[in-house]
Copies of this chain bind each other. A is one copy, B any other.
Amino acid sequence: MMELTRKGDYAIRGIIYLASQPPNKISLLSEIATAVDVPQTFLAKIFQQFSKTGIVKSFRGTGGGFLLAGPPEDITLLQVVEAVEGPILPNRCVLKPGECERDLTCTVHPVWRQVQQQVRGLLGNITLKELTTK
């Protein structure tokens, strides 16, 4: 359980590639896809989500491509993962207080919240910089 989807995996590979390029060097989608070995059309979807959430900047037309929106040390693994996988929720009842009808009786609730916080904390502390400087 708790598995990252392939999309999440691809997303991480792709953005690490971007982060390891020279600053301000625009990368083509085709180039990234080949480099990290992911179907280009699928990677396109992923980078569209990156673009929407603002961790990547995109440019169209000739000379276009993708660029990291900020310095690698400002982008965390948490941002990357949540951009494509959605929020980290060990159990759907964690989010909204009213969701779980057995809310008050549910003794497991606080445990899931703890798990969520731990994982978010961990991923939030890892930046792209640390993932590139091998």
Residues of A within 8 A of B (CB): 1-5, 8-9, 12, 16, 77, 81-82, 85-92, 105, 107-108, 111-112, 114-116, 118-119, 122-123, 126, 130-132, 134
Contact = CB atoms under 8 A, between A and B. Distances in A.
> What's the dominant secondary structure at chain A's contact region?
helix
A89 B2 CA distance: 6
A81 B1 contact: yes
Nearest to A93: B9
Given A111-B123, A126-B111, A134-B107, A3 B118 contact: no
Contact of A122 (B82, B111, B130): B111
Task: Please list the 4 inter-chain residue pairs (A to B) with the smallest Cβ-Cβ separation, ordered nearest first.
Answer: A1-B85, A107-B131, A2-B2, A4-B91
A116 to B, nearest CB: 8
Contacts of A115: 2, 119, 122-123
Contact of A119 (B119, B123, B131): B119
Nearest to A20: B107
A112 B122 CA distance: 10
Contacts of A9: 91
Contacts of A90: 2-4
Nearest to A133: B107
